[in-house]
């Protein structure tokens, strides 16, 4: 019953159709179908797009287009998961964002999409995210990992500020922190006390797996 | 006056009606969607002059009449005076002035891997660029963004100080954390003019700092570079025509503001377009489509009568090789042929990430070749040489022993300084050297022989006084930590400070 809607949802993501994914999500909720199943289907669709990107068959606009299509359905499905009191299974929960003062979105969105495709529950806080907003996001979503991006040498120090804020609030030991972006180097990541750095988006997924103690 | 003069009709990549279509698209974007400017004083000034302003959204909509009036008010060419008047420039019209393409770091010339530049490398870098004849002026940075032991907030000002000390050419500056306040003070104290910067955050947005910088330079009566920064497919449409429209709207918004702050402000608009590398998301700087975008902008801004700076010639290659050569050569050749007024060209190794003097020396040769091409072909009785052809006649006649040849060959041939032009036997017996080795030898020669004209002792004192004022300002603003200041002060104790 209703499997055709799941198929339509999956297809809508792979053809980057935001309107259609949203429609499918609303129909799924209306028919009282299992929202966890819907989430699995979406993750699988994103994984397929991510794999195509990895093989060099698909390109950045395809990856970002699929992510945007999924984004149209995610809040509806998550609301339903909350309503029915179900628990979402994932490799771990990750809060991600580009730090305050920095409005670069592409690298961060790539990483968020590939992390989702890799099986993580990802909450994307967007760009220009303050230390306080990171703190709220981490608490609200019980994040296992915080992922921060900074493209500019002038905004990279903001990553240090976020880590210091977490230390002050006594949250630093409860979370793993990974950093990336054009301005970040391995040495810088170490100097600010991050748990990991990788210069590439696929590398970030492997890094998140390592931080969670998972094998790929 | 330095710079290359283009005696050829500029290359036209757009038809008349296509220019009109782009202009109409630009005016529509400026009026219907408008531009976000996060600066209250700018919004008030624009509103007072007829713009429609939404203060909540910080959005400005520009009426056509004002846009066209301000395009007319901006000078079509302007004087850019250098510390040594011999190096002063006229920017605009049919001249192309080339400048330094900076990089965040330097590279190891044996491995071509990036690493931070030392203070000495910054000063030596400036000195080498001062010696290269086709470097007509300096862009911001020294050529490196960072100085060893210098706190990041002081890098812009240390860079300007190094360039004023080690070069007599015309200088540009950027802006970061109020650095422009001290840059203007330093220039005024030394008695020179500098070209300021206001940068757009595409799409269609200006941050407060950029607008503040525009106010500071225009009010000081200094020229201003208004820099776009779109990546096609990311912050602009993927189509060249659409990207030209939005870039036009973005830079013209800044030009209008500059003309309202102070009518007649000297403005150099920069078409700083790149494409998105659809694999990594990074800008793809080496693409031919950038040449096409720049050529279109050059044609449109010639129509507007406003000087244009093309996208900095950043290659995607990681070292001077075949790819790097074509990526850079296409850019400078198209810039020269299509009527760019300035291009940041010399020394960029990979994107904006690295710069090296060896690359700058190689670029001095290709720049010279383009300058030669732009001069065009001299055609008159003497160069046609018909009488001489009669005189020499068929074999065994030849031209090698003629006074005409002795006079003209050096004017007609361009002689690259670091190119391999040996015969096979010579090349094999001298170690099969490539242009890279020759460029390295030329670099060592310049470092051993070139002595930049020093500042007067009073000018030198003034530079250091302004630097010290800036250090205190940033220390009080907490932009320099105690630890950074200790390292910085210690480096300043060097016996060869400020040079190493």
Give the structural domain span for B422: 385-449
Q: pLDDT value at position B389?
A: 98
Check residue B55 and give its pLDDT.
98
* B458 within some domain: no
By a Cβ cutoff of 8 Å, what residues of chain A touch chain B? 56, 59-61, 103, 106-107, 110, 153-154, 182, 200
**B480 part of a folded domain:** no
ipTM of the complex: 0.80
Please give the Cα distance from B36 to B373 (Å, whole number).
42
Using alpha carbons, list the distances in angstroms from residue B280 to A108, A202, A204, B328, B353.
Answer: 11, 11, 13, 21, 16
The two tokens of residue B332 are: 């400078």
What sections of B167-239 are H helices per DSSP?
A: 179-190, 208-219
Of B177, B278, B282, the CB nearest to A61: B278
pLDDT score at A82: 87
The answer to whether the beta carbons of residues B83 and B168 sit under 8 Å apart is yes
Would you call B74 helix, strand, or coil by DSSP?
coil
The CATH class, in words, for A93-211 is: alpha beta
How long, in residues, is chain A? Answer: 216
Range A147-154 average pLDDT: 88
Strands (E), B342-483: 342-346, 348-350, 354-355
| Same domain as B121, residue B9 | yes
Gap between the Cα atoms of B351 and B90, Å rounded: 28
Instruction: Report yes or no: B158 and B442 within 8 Å, Cβ to Cβ.
Output: no
Contact B123, B447 (CB under 8 A): no
Indicate whether B172 belongs to any domain: yes
Answer whether A174's CB lies under 8 Å from A139's CB. Answer: no
Neighbours of B21 (CB within 10 A): 14
Backbone angles phi, psi at B235, to 5 degrees: -100, 10
Tell me the average pLDDT of chain A.
91
- Using a CB-CB cut-off of 8 Å, the residues of chain A touching B233 are 61
Residues B166, B113, single domain; the answer is yes
Question: Which CATH number does the domain housing residue B113 bear?
Answer: 3.20.20.480
Q: Which two tokens stand for residue B482?
A: 């105690």
Tell me, yes or no, whether B20 lies in a domain: no
pLDDT at position B1 is: 54
Q: Which residues in chain A touch residue B276, judged by CB atoms under 8 angstroms apart?
A: 60, 106
End residue of a domain, out of B325, B347, B375: B375
Residue B45 lies in a domain: no
- The first and second tokens of residue B447, run together, are 């470092």
The domain spans of chain A are 3-84, 93-211
Examine the domain organization and report whether B206 and B347 are in the same domain.
Answer: yes
From CA B385, how far away is CA B397, in angstroms rounded? 15
| B195 and B318 in a common domain | yes
Domain count, chain B: 2
Tokens of B146: 């960072």
CB atoms within 10 A of CB A44: 14
Give the CATH fold of the A3-84 domain: 1.10.1240
User: Mean per-residue pLDDT for A12-40?
Assistant: 95
| pLDDT score at B277 | 92
CB within 8 Å: A153 and B145: yes
Domain-embedded: residue B285: yes
Chosen from A53, A54, A60, A154 to mutate, greatest number of chain B CBs within 10 A = A60
pLDDT value of residue A152: 81
Which of B332, B355, B375 terminates a domain? The answer is B375
pLDDT digit string, tens, across residues A37-72: 999 999 999 999 989 998 999 998 999 899 999 989
CA distance B141 to chain A (A): 14
Can you give the pLDDT at residue A216? 52
Which residues make Cβ contacts (< 8 Å) with residue B213, sequence separation at least 6? B175, B180, B196, B197, B198
B455 assigned to some structural domain: no
Answer whether A3-84 and A93-211 agree in fold: no
C-beta separation of A150 from A102 below 8 A: yes
Same domain? B111 vs B260: yes
Burial label, B390 (beta-carbon count in 10 A; 0-12, 13-18, 19+)? exposed
* Same domain (yes/no): B333, B207: yes
Query: Of A144, A171, A33, nearest to A90 (Cα)?
Result: A144
Give me the torsion for CA of B303, B203, B340, B27, rounded to 10°: 0
The helix (H) or strand (E) run that includes residue B254 is: helix B240-261
Whether B279 and chain A come into contact, CB under 8 Å, resolves to yes
> Does residue B243 contact residue B230 with C-beta atoms inside 8 Å?
yes
So what's the pLDDT on residue A215? 55
Spatial distance between the Cα atoms of B216 and B222, rounded to a whole number of angstroms:
9
Cβ contacts of B281 on chain A, cutoff 8 Å: 60, 106-107, 110
CA distances (Å), origin B124, targets A28, B128, B368: 67, 6, 22
Per-residue pLDDT of chain B (500 residues; tens, 9 = 90+): 589 999 999 999 999 999 999 999 999 999 999 999 999 999 999 999 999 999 999 999 999 999 999 999 999 999 999 999 999 999 999 999 999 999 999 999 999 999 999 999 999 999 999 999 999 999 998 899 888 899 989 999 999 999 999 999 999 999 989 999 999 999 999 999 999 999 999 999 999 999 999 999 999 999 999 999 999 999 999 999 999 999 999 999 999 999 999 999 999 999 999 999 998 888 899 999 999 999 999 999 999 999 999 999 999 999 999 999 999 999 999 999 999 999 999 999 999 999 999 999 999 999 999 999 999 999 999 999 999 999 999 999 999 999 999 999 999 999 999 999 999 999 999 999 999 999 999 999 999 999 999 999 999 999 999 999 999 999 999 999 999 999 999 999 999 999 98
Residue tagged 């032009």 (tokens):
B421
Structure tokens that stand for B242 in this block: 């659409």
User: Based on the domain organization, do B203 and B308 belong to the same domain?
Assistant: yes
Q: List pLDDT tens digits, range A77-131.
A: 989 998 998 887 889 999 999 999 888 888 898 899 889 888 899 999 999 999 9
Query: Are A136 and A166 in contact, with CB atoms under 8 Å apart?
Result: no
Same domain for B207 and B309, yes or no, is yes
B324 with B439, same domain: the answer is no
Same domain, B363 and B432: no
The answer on B257 and B219 residing in a single domain is: yes
Cα dihedral A126, A131, A132, A133 in deg (nearest 10): 10
Q: Which of B328, B343, B375 is the last residue before a domain boundary?
A: B375
**Which SS3 state, helix, strand or coil, does residue A169 take?**
coil
């Amino acid at each position: 019953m209703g499997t055709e809607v799941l198929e339509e949802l999956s297809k809508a993501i792979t053809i980057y159709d935001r309107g259609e994914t949203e429609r499918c999500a609303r129909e799924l909720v209306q028919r009282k179908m299992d929202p966890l199943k819907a989430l699995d289907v979406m993750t699988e669709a994103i994984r397929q797009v991510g794999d195509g990107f990895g093989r060099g068959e698909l390109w950045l606009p395809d990856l970002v287009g699929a992510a945007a299509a999924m984004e149209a359905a995610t809040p509806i499905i998550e609301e339903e998961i909350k309503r029915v009191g179900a628990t979402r299974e994932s490799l771990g929960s990750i809060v991600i964002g580009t730090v305050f003062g920095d409005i670069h979105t592409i690298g961060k969105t790539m990483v968020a999409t590939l992390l989702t495709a890799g099986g993580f529950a990802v909450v994307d806080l967007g760009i220009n995210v303050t230390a306080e907003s990171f703190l709220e996001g981490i608490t609200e979503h019980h994040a296992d990992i915080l992922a921060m991006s900074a493209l500019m040498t002038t905004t990279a120090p903001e990553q240090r500020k976020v880590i210091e804020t977490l230390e002050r609030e006594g949250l630093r030991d409860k979370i793993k922190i990974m950093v990336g972006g054009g301005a970040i180097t391995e040495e810088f990541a170490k100097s600010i006390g991050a748990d990991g750095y990788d210069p590439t988006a696929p590398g970030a997924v492997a890094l998140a797996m390592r931080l969670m103690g998972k094998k790929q | 006056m330095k710079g290359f003069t283009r005696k050829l009709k500029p290359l036209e990549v757009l038809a008349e009606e296509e220019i009109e279509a782009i202009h109409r698209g630009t005016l529509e974007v400026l009026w219907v969607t408008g531009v976000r400017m996060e600066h209250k004083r700018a919004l008030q000034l624009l509103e007072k002059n007829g713009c429609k302003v939404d203060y909540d959204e910080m959005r400005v909509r520009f009426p056509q009449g004002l846009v066209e009036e301000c395009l007319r008010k901006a000078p079509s060419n302007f004087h850019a005076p250098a510390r040594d008047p011999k190096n002063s420039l006229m920017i605009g019209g049919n001249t192309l002035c080339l400048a330094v393409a900076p990089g965040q770091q330097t590279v190891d010339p044996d491995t071509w891997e990036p690493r931070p530049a030392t203070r000495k490398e910054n000063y030596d870098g400036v000195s080498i660029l001062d010696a290269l004849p086709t470097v007509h002026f300096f862009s911001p940075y020294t050529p490196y963004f960072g100085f060893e032991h210098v706190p990041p907030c002081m890098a812009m000002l240390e860079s300007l100080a190094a360039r004023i000390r080690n070069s007599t050419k015309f200088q540009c500056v950027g802006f970061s954390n109020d650095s422009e306040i001290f840059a203007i003070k330093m220039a005024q104290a030394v008695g020179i003019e500098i070209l300021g910067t206001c940068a757009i955050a595409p799409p269609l947005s200006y941050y407060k700092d950029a607008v503040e910088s525009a106010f500071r330079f225009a009010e000081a009566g200094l020229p201003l570079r208004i820099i776009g920064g779109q990546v096609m497919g990311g912050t602009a449409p993927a189509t060249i025509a659409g990207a030209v429209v939005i870039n036009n709207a973005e830079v013209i918004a800044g030009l209008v503001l500059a003309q309202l702050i102070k009518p007649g402000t000297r403005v150099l608009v920069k078409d700083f377009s790149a494409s998105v590398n659809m694999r990594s998301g990074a800008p793809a700087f080496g693409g031919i489509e950038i040449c096409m975008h720049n050529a279109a902008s050059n044609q449109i801004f010639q129509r507007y009568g406003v000087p244009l700076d093309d996208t900095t010639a950043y290659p995607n290659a990681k070292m001077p090789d075949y790819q790097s050569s074509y990526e850079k050569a296409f850019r400078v050749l198209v810039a020269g042929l299509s009527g760019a007024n300035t291009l940041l060209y010399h020394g960029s190794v990979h994107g904006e990430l690295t710069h090296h003097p060896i690359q700058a020396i190689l670029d001095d040769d290709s720049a010279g070749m383009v300058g030669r091409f732009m001069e065009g072909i001299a055609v008159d009785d003497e160069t046609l040489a018909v009488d001489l052809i009669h005189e020499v006649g068929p074999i065994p006649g030849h031209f090698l022993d003629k006074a005409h040849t002795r006079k003209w060959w050096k004017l007609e041939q361009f002689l690259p300084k670091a190119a391999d032009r040996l015969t096979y036997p010579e090349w094999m017996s001298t170690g099969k050297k490539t242009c890279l080795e020759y460029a390295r030898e030329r670099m060592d020669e310049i470092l051993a022989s070139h002595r930049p004209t020093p500042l007067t002792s009073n000018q030198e004192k003034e530079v250091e006084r302004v630097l010290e004022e800036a250090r205190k300002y940033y220390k009080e603003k907490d932009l320099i930590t105690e630890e950074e200041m200790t390292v910085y002060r210690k480096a300043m104790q060097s016996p060869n400070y400020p040079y190493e």
